Amino acid sequence: MNVIQPPHPVLDKRGEPHVRRYEEQRWLLDNVIRANGIDWDQPRSLYLNGPCGNEANADFAGIRERVKKMADIGPAFEAVARRREAKAQAAEEIGYVHLLAYDHVLGADISRRSDWPGPSIASTAMPRLRKRSP
């Protein structure tokens, strides 16, 4: 009886990929974001906001206001996720379980959104909230 073995992955030891043109012309993308906002190419913040509900409208408006260049995207999302985490912990301390669950899920969802522009902050984006995400 022949047992089919799954293929072994090819390991690449060169490290993270670097896109030379992207790195050299990052200033151009920063200028476009500064001029047109975080939704410069498509309405990402609007459709990311949809599943989060009405209470997250202010969070996403704050993110759109804070982001002035590509490097600001991750920290802006992480700041909102940290605020949601703190709000959930405060709700837990006073016994509001219904708010606790909502803020933990919303915080985890927002923390996952912070890596949409690329892998630059994916390794540091809120490990505690990622554990709680469904």
- Write down the pTM of the prediction: 0.66
**88-105 pLDDT per residue, tens:** 888 778 877 766 666 666
Please, which pLDDT band fits residue 65 given cuts at 50, 70 and 90? very high
Question: Would you state the pLDDT for residue 69?
Answer: 92
- Would you say residue 130 has pLDDT above 80? no
Query: With helix as H, strand as E and coil as C, how does the chain read?
Result: CCCCCCCCCCCCCCCCCCCHHHHHCHHHHHHHHHHHCCCCCCCHHHHHHHHHCHHHHHHHHHHHHHCCCHHHHHHHHHHHHHHHHHHHHHHHHHCCHHHHHHHHHHHHHHHHHCCCCCCCCCCCCCHHHHHHCC
- Would you say residue 132 has pLDDT above 60? no
